[in-house]
Chain A
């Protein structure tokens, strides 16, 4: 018997969504005229089916619990939200709520709901469903992952039914927050779930084993069938509430077949053979190799430009770890020095990462704010260009000395540290190799340590036993509020120094203050000025190095109209209802 020993994992990016709570205070009234939402300027052809793939099986069909990409993709097609961010314009638009009104003090939001809207099982949608849904999100008994998002200063948002088609949301205090919060929060059918919630936990509801008849949503599709390990088939929701310009009910495509193809290469080849119509979230090398494959039908390669995801080099600035050997204390002492971090940044060839790792399908970054956040990047900051003499100058100012090819610190210790990378992610391992190569120019001996993903994360978030790590993060929203948990010193993505009770440094305290201030400022220009300031402080202090932001790459059959990669969840399938086949 030959032992089987090798695991071929799709080189999946580790994208971690950041906080997606973002509001722009406005007292205006947004409204749409008709009850059914009419998507103007859209004339498609109804009919046909779409074959798409998922890299893994969805773990749940419950939109409240969906945490992995596959589950989010599927639940996004099955459900709808009250207000929705238009991915093309980045503006909030009415969805299930036909209009909303903000009180003058900014503490309460009144949403008018569309009438005559039905769930996919035919039962009507009313304010009760909205109240029920938010109770599920907010009740601590259910441990819903969204709960902490809906807390403002530790207090939950209050939801009140003020009529069959009208709901009021009360915030504990004026919160510079508008409708962006509602994007992606699915409205659940009260009539199906409430009776069951008395006897079962939320996690047991709407699993893959649940019969399709017991699942209903307000999205363009509903579940038709699920075959374990193979496929999940969605069919057109006949009750969907959007229409096109001609008054034809959306969605156009009758059926969506999601097949589970875990191997990215197999996925590409099946796409080339015409068995799949759509490829999302491609790595740069798979995307480039599509050209070299002979395809059965013409295809369209889609490059959505940089998304919200970015690669970074994280420094371990956590308070000293007791269990670590003396060497660790030494490396941490170096990372605590601002000039040392700045010198490392000056040694990095970001353009080489863009060129070699992403085959030019990425952009170099100065801060974690990627170009996808159109309004918010500080225009005065530019990605650092490699400058070894300047870096060495900074280092010698901090007491380091280059002797021969090796850098020594003030006490005469050789400067060396490790760079952790997730071994299943080729891009990140590649970046780590390039960084080690770059740091060698400063006389630093950096060793790449590839680790299995969960071991890797465990070191970063739990044991804090590492020197530096290459990883990817992704903001949850284009708005600065989508980065709150990264910036705030008590945020759970404040990875360089986790769980600070008090800000450890003056500049972290300043960032906390600026970020909290921008939450309640009404004026866009003022918010921008505050956020620019945060970015300047970051660029000066560099608690981690923002490296590059890869493009969103995808491919589709040429005759399929509609797919466009977008930075917000669920990516390319956000406007699935408007996809259609060109004749």
Chain B
């Protein structure tokens, strides 16, 4: 297991290297840079602009720039934001926290509802199925947009400004926080629900015909025992993989909802950084998501290994 883990971590490092290098290369390839809009600033002469450019980025080539970034990353310094004149880390940290809060709430909601709906079978299963198909058929942005409109028209949106910094100091702030997070989290859940539903449904359907489950049913065990002791473990494997995938998308899945609902997370910041070519903020954001993506896979594999004795045998 330790060997497997070591190789996985080595692979992860390779991926991170590739992703960050690609990110730098692509940023270089895109037309315009952070200072492009300043060329139209009336008071700013070309000379001043050039010295601003040099001050912001003294490196001549992509390789130099990348190596210097790697160097500062190793020291734990993610660089400076061009737009905000602030260390990227200080800029990202509070927002990552907010994004994680929202994504975790949204994904948890989707998981709970998805698993409950997957347990339904018989006549209503068709209905659930149709519901899932409907959710698949609406493009995500349209879904979130319709949701936002409904929420705002019925005045269900929490008043501004939101306070997510320390929500649970008192009952009132906690209430406000729950009010604020409920709608964006719900919108996220709706986008994520069909995926979970699909996997849970097929997993449960497959597990139903598994010998162990059929055996338990034949023995006349109570329904609850059959479900909890036999069926769920049987159906768990694909769901664990899916769970890992969910962890991987904790930072990226909520981007659209955040922008739409004005949630103070990573989404709005990254989006504006992307359009402004605020290089290091973009790289840091991409790096963080890649890290999470890899970590999610790793966690899923670890859980699978713990859950499924077959895998442990295979690896030993």
| A binding-site residues for B, Cβ under 8 Å | 1-2, 4-9, 16-20, 51, 53, 56-57, 59-60, 62, 65, 67, 143, 145-149, 201, 203-204, 207-209, 227-231, 233, 257, 259-263, 266, 269-270, 273, 275-276, 296, 452-455, 457-459, 461-463, 476, 485, 492-493
Within the complex, the shortest CB–CB distance from B271 to chain A, in Å, comes to 6
Q: B261: CB under 8 A from chain A? A: yes
Please tell me if the beta carbons of A454 and B32 are within 8 angstroms of each other in the complex.
yes
Additional A-B contact list (8), CB under 8 Å, known A263-B259, A454-B31, A458-B31? A5-B140, A203-B85, A228-B264, A230-B264, A231-B160, A233-B161, A257-B161, A263-B260
- Bound together, the chains give a CA A17 to CA B37 distance in angstroms of 11
CA distance in complex: A296, B153 (Å): 11
Interface pair A65/B260, CB less than 8 Å apart:
no
Chain B residues within an 8 Å CB radius of A457? 32, 36-37, 39-40
In the complex, whether B58 has a CB less than 8 A from a CB of chain A is no
User: How long is the Cα–Cα vector from A147 to B261 in the complex, in angstroms?
Assistant: 40
A149 to chain B: closest residue by CB: B43
A266 engages B260 (CB within 8 Å)? yes
Asked whether A16 and B40 contact (CB < 8 A) given A4-B256, A51-B160, A229-B98, the answer is: yes
B261 touches A148 (CB 8 A): no
Also in contact, A143 and B52, with CB within 8 A (given A60-B84, A263-B262, A453-B275): yes
A207 touches B45 (CB 8 A): no
Of A67, A147, A229, the residue contacting B269 (CB under 8 A) is A229
CB-based contact A59/B83 at 8 Å: yes
A270 to B48, Cβ gap below 8 A?
Answer: no
Taking a contact as CB atoms under 8 Å apart, the answer to whether A454 and B277 are in contact is yes
A-B residue pairs, 3 tightest by C-beta: A229-B264, A454-B32, A231-B161
Q: Which of B52, B90, B140, B160 has the most CB of A within 10 A?
A: B160
Q: Is B76 an interface residue (CB 8 A)?
A: no
Asked if A259 meets B161 with Cβ closer than 8 Å, knowing A143-B51, A459-B31, the reply is yes
Evaluate contact between B245 and A1: CB separation under 8 angstroms.
yes
> A455 to B155, Cβ gap below 8 A?
no
Q: Report B78 CB to chain A, min CB distance, Å.
A: 14
Closest-by-CB residue of A relative to B262 is A261
Residue of B nearest to A68 (CB): B83
- Assembled-state Cα–Cα distance A7/B258 (Å): 11
Q: Does B160 lie within 8 Å of A229, measured CB to CB?
A: no
* A residues in contact with B260, CB < 8 Å: 8, 263, 266
Interface assignment of B42: CB less than 8 Å from any CB of chain A = yes
For A257, what are the chain B residues with a Cβ–Cβ distance below 8 Å? Answer: 160-161
State the CA gap A259–B161 with chains docked (Å): 6
Contact residues in B for A463 (Cβ distance below 8 Å): 31
Known: A204-B85, A208-B84, A492-B45. A276 touches B40 (CB 8 A): no
Q: Is the CB of B85 within 8 A of A455?
A: no
Q: Which residues of the other chain, A, contact B159 by a CB distance below 8 angstroms?
A: 275
Cross-chain contact of B32 among A62, A260, A455, A485 (Cβ < 8 A): A455
Closest to A424 in B: B275
